[in-house]
Structure 1
Amino acid sequence: AGRHLRDGTFGVTGQVDPLDEDLVQKIESHDFDPVKVLQWRTAQFDFASLDTLKRSIETNAPVEGLTRALPAVDAQALEHLSRDEGIRALATNAKRVALLWEACALPDYRKIAPAQHADLIASIYMDLARHG
């Protein structure tokens, strides 16, 4: 509050060099490179079945100029898991499909291979689906 009333500086932390004067000038004058691509992903998911969920994730943007985002970790995990017969046998109704999607949202904090992360999600999902 009140920062617009007096000049200040751009602070840095740790071992970071101060911001270049040209960059400071561009920030202060709101001089940014134009955005060339805007990515979008739907927030309207259809949990009726695994296949309808996958189709809903792949929905194209409703507005021209937006491009569908690359598959995120959750969508990659869902794609991998949807080929697993054990998962398909459990994900037979909207509640179970929604639970699977929720499990797919688990972050990959360990930054392991996508298939390994999907296997971890599968274990968690199967336990939740069977035992609550």
Structure 2
Amino acid sequence: ELIYVFKQQNLEQRQADVEYELRCLLNKPEKDWTEEDRGREKVLMQELMALIEQRNAIVNCLDEDRQREEEEDKMLEAMIRRKEFQKEAEPEGKKKGKFKTMKVLKLLGNKRDTKSKSPGDKS
């Protein structure tokens, strides 16, 4: 982006110089114009058009870059949301799974304890 800004500034400066020279030429009465003046006017007008087109191309590139960056930001934001949602969903699932496993083990342990103790045994 800095390169675009630098190029844009150079083109703006050159455009100002061309416009100044063109105004100076156009301030001269047309009856006093020489063939050289007419040729110079054509050259300056062509250069001015080229400068404007170059500046327009830079603006278009900057706009495209901004749009691309916005799209990338939206995609990244969506990915982050999905990851956060997955992280939130995972611990709940794991906790439920662990809780059930622990509950089963406790129940199994209690059953074993009661089986190992005979009804006649009193501790």
Q: Is the strand fraction higher in 1 or 2?
A: 1
Question: TM-score interval w.r.t. the shorter chain?
Answer: under 0.3
The higher-RCO structure (CA 8 Å, 6+ apart) is 2
Q: Is the helix fraction higher in 1 or 2?
A: 2
